[in-house]
Chains A and B, each alone.
Chain A
Amino acid sequence: MKMPLKKKPLQVEVEEQVDWAPKVEEKREIADLRAACERIKSREGIIGYIIRGPTSASVDIKDPSKIIDYAALSAEAIESCESVSNTFDLGKISNIVLEGKNLKILSLTKGEQQLSIFMEKNVDHSNVYREIE
């Protein structure tokens, strides 16, 4: 009788730091952020997430037809709010909560990664924020 294969936990390779490669810490941070997002995504009411870095992006949205619209909105939200923050001297933005008629978005910047989590309006975004932070 064959034994069922055990699922391997997500492993992050630790590389030796070199000048030309991205920092190891940054890589780990991205991996941690993705892992956190995956955990959050499994919760009820979470529609998906977009993580955008300087060179790459991860998108996981339940409805693929909405990806472009959500990506454009997420980018616009972060850019507009940064502009507003500079204009009114709000300092570093810790988070943005944008509520629409149908759903809401929690956006924040972590290091060089811009993250937006899309959720239904009844989800407590402060719990989600605490988990990411």
Chain B
Amino acid sequence: MNEEILSLALRNALIEIKNALPDINWSFILTNDGTVITTEENTVDPNIAKASSSFQSLAEKAGAIGGLDNMLITGEKGKVYVSSINDLYLVAGLAKNADLVYFRTITGAVLPTLLKVLDSVTSPTLTPTPFKPTTPIPYPPAKPTLARPVPSELRIEEEEEEKATEEEYAQPEETEEPETEKLEPSKPQRIEAPRPLENVPSQQLIVDRFSGFMVKADTVQLDADILKRWGALLDLKEIGEVDIETFSGKTARCKAKLINDSKLEGRGLIRIPEKTCQLLDVRRGELVRVKPVTPDESG
């Protein structure tokens, strides 16, 4: 989901909720890693930044009780209510005598629905989306070599584009065969054409950085469910590599492995080594589009 759209939609929702509930003094929404996504004021106040850091450390420890679902702090002068909505937390400062039931009803109905709608509009996970614009390049590539071994290590946008042109230049040879067969109606058309890029599933995932001595920069970690689903869609036993694309357009191809931390499973995360995050210029909590590399693409 586009971060800007998400932030704008949630900010408008917070403003509307505040209009309906005058007992709300302030509110903001943060991710489970402590990143403030949106505030009513459209600016991250230092107080909010400080509070979000407190909530993040608390949310981490709350794993002992199955994760933080909601929290109410009752003070002499007011209340703070924290509520978990999907992977986000709504934090609201309320008046001392605020109607908490009404507040919960409104926020519990509006925000999850909004997130669901945004998710379905911007990131339909079941409908395959093209990973990159695949406009045909009319001119032949400068290098005539067709098959160049693809290094398994990380490579950046320029190299990928170069390869894309090479692959497209190579494709006509393969596509000629099915065309000739079409002319003979008696023969069954059983030749498998190369899978078009549009049919390759892709998914937006939240970036989580990790580092360490034994961490390989060219290996990212993904949910078992996602890899399994891609494997089933592409009819592959396992997904060995994935392409990552940031919203700024930077791309990288990395080896794919399962997330090794059970606490991080099923959260829609892609764990990217710190070095690779720097190369891609992405930070923790940002969204990237990830798609599996098919054997045709991996060369």
Annotate B19-63 by CB proximity to A: 1 below 8 A, 0 otherwise.
000000010000000000000000000010011001101100111
Residue B181 lies at the interface, judged by CB distance under 8 Å to chain A: no
Which residue of chain B is the closest to A98 with respect to CB atoms?
B71
| Interface pair B70/A99, CB less than 8 Å apart | yes
| Interface pair B65/A104, CB less than 8 Å apart | yes
Residues of A within 8 A of B47 (CB): 87-88
Count of chain B residues with a beta carbon within 8 Å of a chain A beta carbon: 29
**Which of B51, B64, B68 has its CB near the most chain A CB atoms (within 10 A)?**
B64
Residue B268 lies at the interface, judged by CB distance under 8 Å to chain A: no
When A80-B55, A84-B54 are in contact, do A100 and B75 touch as well, CB less than 8 Å? no
| Interface pair B75/A101, CB less than 8 Å apart | no
| Interface pair B73/A93, CB less than 8 Å apart | yes
A99-123 with Cβ < 8 A to chain B = 99-105, 118
Residue B108 lies at the interface, judged by CB distance under 8 Å to chain A: no
A44-101 with Cβ < 8 A to chain B = 66, 69-70, 72-73, 76-77, 79-81, 83-85, 87-101
Residues of B within 8 A of A69 (CB): 61, 63-64
Which residue of chain A is the closest to B46 with respect to CB atoms?
A87
- Using C-beta atoms within 8 Å of the partner chain, give the interface range for chain A: 20 to 34
| Interface pair A90/B80, CB less than 8 Å apart | yes
B216-265 with Cβ < 8 A to chain A = none
Residues of B within 8 A of A76 (CB): 57-58, 61
Annotate B56-90 by CB proximity to A: 1 below 8 A, 0 otherwise.
01100111111111111111111110000000000
Q: Identify 8 new A-B residue pairs, CB closer than 8 A, beyond the known A84-B51, A85-B80, A99-B70.
A: A66-B64, A83-B51, A85-B73, A88-B47, A91-B77, A93-B75, A94-B76, A103-B66
Q: Can you list 22 pairs linking A and B with CB atoms under 8 Å apart?
A: A69-B63, A70-B64, A72-B61, A76-B58, A77-B61, A80-B55, A80-B58, A88-B26, A90-B78, A91-B76, A91-B77, A96-B71, A96-B73, A96-B74, A97-B71, A97-B74, A99-B70, A100-B69, A101-B65, A102-B65, A103-B65, A103-B66
